[in-house]
Amino acid sequence: MFKDIATPIRTKEILKKYGFSFKKSLGQNFLIDPNILKRITEYAGLSKENAVIEVGPGIGALTEHLARTSGKVLAFEIDQRLLPILKDTLSPYDNVKVVHQDILKADVRELIKQELSDYKDIMVVANLPYYVTTPIILKLLGDQLPINGICVMLQKEVGDRIAASPGTKEYGSLSIAIQYFTEAETVMTVPKTVFMPQPNVDSSVIKLTKREEPLVKVKDEEFFFTVTRSSFAQRRKTLLNNLTSQLPDGKKKKDSIIQALESVDIDPTRRGETLSVKEFGKLSDVLLPLFK
């Protein structure tokens, strides 16, 4: 049996062998606890029938667990210095393909077609760099890729916002954007002590299960997201204040906005965080003729 990469001793050995130094700008924090990695693969529900997309494999700590439990791993690594390390650490596994690309710029759909066409079920599983967590998740969902879901480790605060319910201080346009496409749940909290170098905050693992249909049916998806973002522009302001200040010519259309809100039984003095995703769907549909 191969020695796990994700132990403090083995991680230090690998870093020393290659003279690797962490780049803060790339948000590099490597996990050094194999048990947590094992639990992530369990929460992701992997089997040899699944393929996995990983973002930021680092030195391969999570990758090797994914390779052991799934049919194939397609890993995106942006840091060229890690490519020779991954070639070495993942040499026991013939079911891993490492691509030297930025996932935000890559044609992920085309790479899925090239590398994972034999697999019907595809999960994204990753320890995401904190600084690009949100853009990565939104890209993967917004591009309507043929994936079943996403199971990722991220900054706890961001995880809380993604899984938040209406009426809580964490709930906002990010919660809505992700819950529109998926069912979101926090499955695990991870202390900062199990990373090298140790970050300043704890992490959590969230699982996003893709919905067959979006949570609400809206006439214009782009406008729906514009309305939700506008509604949270300044959290302390009422819905009416935010919409009139954020939407084009909103101040001139104030009376029409009030009428639109009242027509779907939404009090203009409510705040954005009190509205459910379904209420935002109704609201965006009724505002659409005023702004399109």
Q: Decide: 5 and 64 in contact? Cβ < 8 Å.
A: yes
Both tokens assigned to 286: 């009724």
Burial class (CB in 10 A: 0-12, 13-18, 19+), 75: buried
Q: Binding site annotation covers 154? A: no
Q: What is the largest CA-CA distance in the chain?
A: 70
In angstroms, the Cα distances linking 113 to 7, 61, 143 are: 35, 26, 14
Q: Which residues, including other chains, have CB under 8 Å from residue 258's CB and lie 6 or more apart? A: 240, 268
Q: Decide: 170 and 127 in contact? Cβ < 8 Å.
A: no
Q: Which residues, including other chains, have CB under 8 Å from residue 78's CB and lie 6 or more apart? A: 26, 56, 100, 101, 102, 103
Q: Binding site annotation covers 267? A: no
Q: Binding site annotation covers 56? A: yes
Rounded to 5 degrees, φ, ψ at 181 are -95, -25
Q: Binding site annotation covers 138? A: no
Q: Binding site annotation covers 50? A: no
Q: Binding site annotation covers 221? A: no
Binding residues for S-adenosyl-L-methionine, by number, are 29, 31, 56, 77, 102, 127
Binding residues, by number, are 29, 31, 56, 77, 102, 127
